[in-house]
Structure 1
Amino acid sequence: MNLLFVIDPLNSFRIYKDTTYVMMREAQRRGHQVSVCLPSDLYWVHGGRVTAAVQTIELLDVDPARYAKGDDAQPWWRQVAAGEQALADFDAVLMRKDPPFDNEFFYTTHLLSQAEREGAKVFNRPAALRDHPEKLDILEFPQWTGPTLVTRDPARIRAFHAEHGDIILKPLDGMGGMGIFRVAADGLNLGSIIETLNDNGRTSVMVQRYIPAIKQGDKRILLIDGKAVPHALARIPQGNEIRGNMAVGGKAVAQPLTARDQDIASHIGPILAARGLLLVGLDVIGDFVTEINVTSPTGFQEVFNQTGCDVAALFIDALERRQPTWLAP
């Protein structure tokens, strides 16, 4: 297959932990051609097709662990060719631009939807990316979630706190644990936190009952084509931190899925896969789903390094299986 990855700049990759890197490496190992472009490289002109300035690259034989130690002088890729190519001419386009899902990300999904109409096969499917905001997606699956409130109304937030006592507040557009607050039963700083997140009623906020099981980790369950990877990646808060996100220092520990994890995945996975979401990351604390990540889920390398489960191989397996029966635009 001839694959196009829509990505952040190559020089921003931390290849000792990057999921897109191991996707590309596994694809190349199997003989597939790897090309890359930035979202800003996409364009459409009346009478033409969605096109991108692309680089075809070869991943070099390097030890990613060296980059974890700061030894990044050795190049890890080289350009084989460069030029402009319509997205529909690739066998698959993989949207791997990291969040935030801002206006430019949104516009990129519309260009990718137009490419689909022209015959491109895009994963995750751009319409599904738009329809599945990562914080709000849990609203579709209340049987798997804890008490949750989404509102602009400060009075409703205060009432939710009065009912549940210990709560988490977070912005709907946050990522990597940014902007997450805990307010315990004493209500300390609740007013100030509401003002910060709510912007005097102009910004919606998600409020959830605090789940003590966060001390055992915020589990990332990876779904590939609707099926769960056998191991979850528990992101365990460190010190006095309430957030387990790796971006804020959480410790990543791979662990087998529990029976509850399996039940959650077996219900949600096929539904999302049928909508063109080839790769999904469920965030689960204790028994409850707290977020559903669809933009650029990660964790492949951490799971592989700790368990030997080759998640990148499972992903490329799924992509290859999908090729003969691509979803129609």
Structure 2
Amino acid sequence: MRIAFIVDPLDQLKAYKDSSVAMMRAAERHGHEAWALQVDSLAWSQEGGVRGQALRVHTRPDDHDWYRETGRESLALKDFDAVVMRKDPPFDVEYVTATWLLERAEAEGARIFNKPRALRDHSEKFATAEFPQFTVPALVTRDSHALQAFIDAQRDVVMKPLDGMGGSSIFRVHRNEPNRNVIIEVLTQLGQRTVMAQRFIPEISHGDKRILLINGKPVPYALARIPKAGETRGNLAVGGTGVAQELSPRDRQIAESLGPVLAARGLFLVGLDVIGDWLTEINVTSPTCMVEIQQQTGFDVAGAFITALEHACGS
């Protein structure tokens, strides 16, 4: 198979922990060709359809010098057996434009994972509202009075923008927080930006668990991202420590309930975030933690992804 990975610039990827790099390495282990594209090279024309500047990548085990470029050419996305969309947020107008281009490529015969329409229609934070049986009380609004009332009612909440990633701009706000007015003003940009507030979950001290779904089926291990001292965010990007562990019965209940629903929409790779017994986010743009899970458990998550991709493509 020829597999195209739409990723951020290769020299910016941290191979020692990057799931996209792990996927490329796994693709080559399975005997496939790995190609890399960037969204800024995607273009459509009536004559050529959707094309991109594609780099043939040969991966290496050295994380400091992890690839060699062995070819570069403009190729139609339909000429690949699979196209894996792994561009990191921000989910801005350029990201949306990329999904339009990818959807046009689908119409031309390309197989895109995750499906571009599903990516565009899915809010990673607000999507939890569809599954209230697995969530704590939450509010999505830009209205400061509503947010103030929610904080008063729940007493201890977490607030975050809907388009953030990696733990950025997440605030824990107690009922007696002296700066709560300022926090609301900053997060909502004085009422111009919609945010999410969720009741604080104390079990964050035991980790924010990342559960990976591959074509609707859960990986048997989660990565619990445990906050460093003085933090309430477990994200690895802000200093959290990842500890792999088997799924709990509740983890498996959540994963097995959501998996078929999300897979039916074309969300082939999903990262569920679960704190304690509660679902907090449903990540679909570029879910991570494959490398850490494999290093600690021996379970080859990236290899399982490539195997599932082979089956999906009939290879």
2:120 and 2:26 map into 1 onto residues whose CA distance is 28
Find the aligned partners of 1:124 and 1:95 in 2 and give their Cα distance: 6
Stretch of structure 1 that moved more, 164-173 or 178-187? 178-187
Equivalent residue number for residue 68 of structure 1 = none
Q: Which residue of 1 aligns with 2:42?
A: 42
Matching residue's letter, 2:292? E
User: Which residue in the other structure is 2:8 paired with?
Assistant: 8
Distance 1:277 1:311 in 2: 17
Choose which of 180, 185, 198 in structure 2 pairs with 1:195.
185
Q: Which residue of 2 is the match for residue 21 of structure 1? A: 21
Q: With the length of structure 1 as denominator, give the TM-score of the two structures.
A: 0.94
- Distance in 1 (CA, whole Å) between partners of 2:192 and 2:141 is 10
Q: Distance in 2 between matches of 1:134 and 1:87?
A: 26
Matched, 1:283 2:282: no
State the distance in 2 between where 1:195 and 1:94 align: 38
1:247-282 superposed Cα distances (whole Å, 9 cap, x missing partner): 000010001100000000000011101111110000
Task: With the length of structure 2 as denominator, give the TM-score of the two structures.
Answer: 0.98
1:298 equivalent in alignment to 2:288 = yes
* AA aligned opposite 2:248: T
Q: Secondary structure at the match of 1:44?
A: strand
Cα distance in structure 2, aligned partners of 1:314 and 1:46: 37
User: Match for residue 32 of structure 2?
Assistant: 32
Residue 167 (str. 1) matches residue 157 (str. 2): yes
Alpha-carbon distance in 2 for matches of 1:201, 1:172: 14
1:69 aligned partner: none
Structure 2 residue aligned with 1:150: 140
Q: State the Cα distance separating 1:161 from its structure 2 match.
A: 1.0
SS of 1:207's equivalent? strand
Q: Map 1:210-229 onto structure 2 (within 5 A).
A: 210-229=200-219
Separation of aligned partners in 1, 2:116 and 2:147: 33
1:264-279 aligned within 5 A: 264-279=254-269
Name 2:79's counterpart in structure 1: 89
Question: Identity of counterpart residues, as a percentage?
Answer: 53
Q: How does 1:313-324 map to 2 (within 5 A)?
A: 313-324=303-314
Q: Does 1:98 align with 2:85?
A: no
CA shift, 1:201, in A, is 1.5
Q: Deviations over 1:2-35 (max 9, x none)?
A: 1111111111111111101110111111110111
Shift of the alpha carbon at 1:48? 2.7
Q: Which amino acid aligns with 1:113?
A: E
2:57 and 2:307 map into 1 onto residues whose CA distance is: 21
Q: Paired residue for 1:263, among 253, 270, 280?
A: 253
SS at match of 2:11: helix
After TM superposition, the runs of 4+ consecutive aligned structure 1 residues lying more than 2 A away are none
Q: Which residue of 1 aligns with 2:62?
A: 63
2:114 aligns to what?
A: 124
CA–CA separation in structure 1 for the residues paired with 2:187 and 2:111: 38
Distance across 1 between alignment mates of 2:48 and 2:16: 39
Unmatched 5+ residue regions in structure 2?
none
Instruction: Encode CA deviations 1:47-73: one digit per residue, 9 max, x unaligned.
Output: 33101111112113x333xxxxxxx3x
Residue 324 of structure 1 aligns to a residue whose secondary structure is: coil
CA apart distance, 1:106: 1.0
2 CA distance for matches of 1:154 and 1:116?
Answer: 42
Q: Distance in 1 between matches of 2:308 and 2:56?
A: 23
Choose the corresponding residue for 1:240, options 217, 227, 230. 230
Aligned mates of 1:291, 1:22 — CA distance in 2: 23
Aligned to 1:307: 297
Q: Deviation at 1:187?
A: 3.2
Task: In structure 1, give the amino acid aligned to 2:28.
Answer: Q
CA distance in 2, matches of 1:247, 1:258: 25
Q: Distance in 1 between matches of 2:172 and 2:71?
A: 50
Aligned residues: 315
Q: CA offset at residue 315 of structure 1?
A: 0.5
Q: Which runs of 5+ in 1 are unaligned?
A: 65-71
Q: Which letter maps to 1:5?
A: F
